[in-house]
Amino acid sequence: MRCTGAVSLAALVLINGCWAGDWPQFRGPSASGVGDGTKPPVKWDATKGTNIVWSVEIPGLADSSPIVWGDQVFVTTAISSDPKQTFRTGLYGDTDPVNDNSPHQWKVLAIDKKTGKILWEQTAHEGVPKTKRHPKSSQASPSPVTDGKVVVAYFGSEGLYAYSVGGKLLWKKDLGLQNAGWFFDPDSEWGAASSPVIYKNMVILQCDRQKDSFVAAYDLKDGKELWRTARAEIPSWGTPTIVSGKDHTEVATNAPRAIRGYDADTGKQLWTLGPNSEVVCTTPVFSQGLIFVTAGYPPVQPIYAIRIGSSGDLTLKDGKESSDAIAWSKQRGGVYLPSPLVYGEHLYTVSNNGILTAYEAKTGVRVYQQRVGEGGSFVASPVSAAGKLYITSEDGDVFVVKAGATYELLSKNPMGEPILATPALAGDVLIIRGARHLFAVAE
Amino acid sequence: MHRIAGLVLATALALCAADVNEELLAAARKGDLVAVKALIERGAALETKTPYGQTPLYVAAMNGHDETVQFLLDKGANTDVTDTFYKESMLGFVLQRKHYGVAKMIIAKGGNADKQLADVAETGQADLVQAVLEKGKPGQAALDSAYEAAIGDKQAAIAELLKKAGAHEPAAAVQVDAKVLDSYTGTYKTEQFPLDIKVFVKEGKLYMQGTGQPEFAPKPKSATVFEFPPAHIEVEFDSAASFTLKQGSMNLKFKKAVTQ
């Protein structure tokens, strides 16, 4: 284990209310996946220790992504008392859940970003999981979120927990059974995955389940419910995105029955758009005044570029691909698990089988389509910084691709274990969560 | 006034019926036989459907609840149900989940013997094939197709059952010149779908493989048209550089991106 030293001051640029060294939620500032102002590494090899600053074993299983604030990295995990529990990786369409009825511990850990030392860990909950999980999922799939003072962890049916960044439990909240599973057979429980997000003094959650779905805001200070809006919605797994326009802020949500926008301050629904896939796992991203939403399951696999500030039913008339509210759209080409990425002038999507497609973000014109690596399964969402895209395969390789109108693979970096979580960019350090370890990578 | 009261009553009754039907679907899904019986007694509709066209029998069967399945079958529940989303038959889902006991119960009630034979032949379960042949009378085309598939899959016991039932020997395979097959090899892409298909020749046969999927060997119908009945796929080469893949309502045009 070695330390690369302090992050360069030059890299500390204020982006979206947090420093470039911070990655406060799933996919970083505004869920964008963009870490501009940071300079992450291009080449490393975890199997040989090359450019690995530190690695630390994290017990249990979790799909949740690491988040970073200042010198602390926060992760969540669920530890089954059955030591054989693991992820089932690969490309498959099986719907049967993992039914692990053994007692679990749900934990939040804070780790020193410089050394990898565990600074504190708190057990949020203990018990038998209230719902099953998808073989690719875990009992700790939602990523935590922080504003630099409070760290909020959501464990689905096991509740919502807020800690100080020093590790003191501030409040907790039972949100009831979060039965998110297969629409076709509600007993095929796959577990919750939508991550909490923070807006002003609120933590906002999208809880799409078999019955009584809702989006709600809770006071960051004490967990008091500030608003709740019911949704006629079936289970979904995408994280809501906070989208700020000139005079208002929206919560954009992606789900099967509709893609929707809500007033972030009140929860009032502003707009709705369909059709969409019947299973939705991706998170909307916002760039250049457009909200990009995609999904990749039948009956349609759409990509929409929605203008912020729209209202009402934005559903396009038959045969139309654009309107005053929709800059462009496609009903094919949307992707299933990795969320899309807008970087520079381009929208990038990564399909489950590792096909990277680049579009002109403003027009939807396809620029290129290219397989990344030799195939396999891709679950983690792509992130980007310093003119590069970081694309992570489930097999445990991180591909670094030059951003832009032509495909150029810069490196393939083995991690030595499966990866399902989306990496975090923290200054010049890339934080990668594997199935068993958390790695800090820097050149 | 009476008319308004009547409308209110009708609306209330309709809502109650919706509730009881939803409860029946939930009980059948969980295999709660006591609740299923009580809800049927209370007037729940035997053929009520989920938004995806699944009936109580469908959801009980796909979850392998044999006692509930038997009760619903005894009540006369329809076995020829196909869902509206995946377009999969009840028996198809039951077989996917390997609830073979439940499959036998459904087959024993009859139904579309052609479809049932196609479904069970793929499982490799000879006793289920026997059950379909005993209960129904699959048409000649269904028998022949299942027989050919069984031979291809080296399912000797199933092939023998089908032959005894009257399946015809498959026609001799169309022979395509090796040079023509070689000309098709390469990796193909389509703009309509994020999937590459690799086309290659192995032991004199044309094979195809989608990204991340198992390889399959489509059978030549001619020098340019190939079919793979188990997945309802037809591939037509319009040159050595492109083909059209038809599957269900999909019609995808692939172009060769890489020559091997």
What's residue A431's pLDDT? 97
Q: How far is B86 from chain A (nearest CA, A)?
A: 9
pLDDT in tens, A409-440: 999 999 999 999 999 999 899 999 999 999 99
Task: From chain B, pick out residues whose CB is under 8 angstroms from the CB of A376.
Answer: 212
What's residue B10's pLDDT? 55
B29/A186 Cβ within 8 A: yes
Token pair 């069984």 in the structure block, residue: B150
How far from B81 is each of A124, B35, B165, CA to CA, in Å?
46, 23, 26
In DSSP terms, A368 is beta-bridged to: A358
Query: At residue B92, does pLDDT exceed 60?
Result: yes
What's residue B171's pLDDT? 82
What's residue B174's pLDDT? 87
Picking from A14-18, A166-170, A323-327, B92-96, which range would have the lowest pLDDT averaged per residue?
A: A14-18
Which residue in chain A has the smallest CA separation from B26?
A186
How much is the pTM? 0.86
Other C-beta atoms within 10 Å of A86: how many?
Answer: 15
Mutate to test the interface with A, among B19, B68, B83, B211 (most CBs of A within 10 A): B211
Spatial distance between the Cα atoms of A138 and A169, rounded to a whole number of angstroms: 23
Q: Are A277 and A262 in contact (CB under 8 A)?
A: no
Task: From chain B, pick out residues whose CB is under 8 angstroms from the CB of A355.
Answer: 194-196, 211
Q: Which residue has the higher pLDDT, B210 or A46?
A: A46
Average per-residue pLDDT for chain A: 94
B30 close contact with A: CB closer than 8 A: yes
B52/A183 Cβ within 8 A: yes
What's residue B237's pLDDT? 96
In DSSP terms, A273 is beta-bridged to: A259
B192/A332 Cβ within 8 A: yes
pLDDT in tens, A114-154: 999 999 999 999 999 999 999 999 999 999 999 999 999 99
A332/B85 Cβ within 8 A: no
- Number of A/B CB contacts below 8 angstroms equals 45
B211/A353 Cβ within 8 A: yes
pLDDT in tens, B192-246: 766 789 999 998 899 998 876 778 889 899 999 998 877 778 999 999 999 999 8
Task: From chain B, pick out residues whose CB is under 8 angstroms from the CB of A96.
Answer: 97
B189 close contact with A: CB closer than 8 A: yes
B194/A351 Cβ within 8 A: yes
* Nearest by CB: A184 against B52, B193, B194: B52
Average pLDDT score over residue span A271-291? 97
What's residue A26's pLDDT? 98
Spatial distance between the Cα atoms of B223 and B219, rounded to a whole number of angstroms: 10
Which residue in chain A has the smallest CA separation from B58?
A185
> For a pLDDT cut of 70, what percent of chain A falls above it?
95
Average pLDDT score over residue span B137-156? 90
Helices and strands, number each (H, E), in chain B: 11, 8
Q: Which residue has the higher pLDDT, A15 or A1?
A: A15
B54/A184 Cβ within 8 A: yes
Mutate to test the interface with B, among A353, A368, A378, A379 (most CBs of B within 10 A): A353
pLDDT in tens, A59-73: 999 999 999 999 999
> For a pLDDT cut of 90, what percent of chain B falls above it?
67
Average pLDDT score over residue span B99-113? 93
A353/B195 Cβ within 8 A: yes
- Kindly state the tokens that stand for A175: 């949100």
Query: At residue A16, does pLDDT exceed 50?
Result: no
A91/B52 Cβ within 8 A: no
Task: From chain B, pick out residues whose CB is under 8 angstroms from the CB of A184.
Answer: 52, 54, 83, 85-86
Q: Which residue, among A67, A22, A32, has the nearest Cα to A383 in the 3D structure?
A: A32
> How far does CA B236 lie from the centroid of its chain?
23
User: Given the DSSP bridges, would you call strands A52-57 and A355-360 parallel, antiparallel or unpaired?
Assistant: unpaired
Collapsing DSSP to helix, strand or coil, A108 comes out as strand
Spatial distance between the Cα atoms of A201 and A198, rounded to a whole number of angstroms: 7
Binned at pLDDT 50, 70 and 90, residue B16 comes out as low
Q: Which residue, among A155, A199, A239, A169, has the nearest Cα to A422 in the 3D structure?
A: A239
Picking from A192-206, A350-364, A385-399, B239-253, which range would have the lowest pLDDT averaged per residue?
A: B239-253
pLDDT in tens, A284-341: 999 999 999 999 999 999 999 999 999 999 999 999 999 999 999 999 999 999 999 9
Sign of CA dihedral A179, A180, A182, A183: positive
Binned at pLDDT 50, 70 and 90, residue B172 comes out as confident
Q: How far is A336 from chain B (nearest CA, A)?
A: 11
Which H or E element spans position A292?
A: strand A290-294
Q: Reply yes or no: is the peptide bond before residue A299 cis, omega within 30 of 0.
A: yes
Average pLDDT score over residue span A345-366? 96
Q: Which residue, among A201, A273, A208, has the nearest Cα to A240 in the 3D structure?
A: A208
Query: At residue A255, does pLDDT exceed 90?
Result: yes
Q: Are A66 and A75 in contact (CB under 8 A)?
A: yes
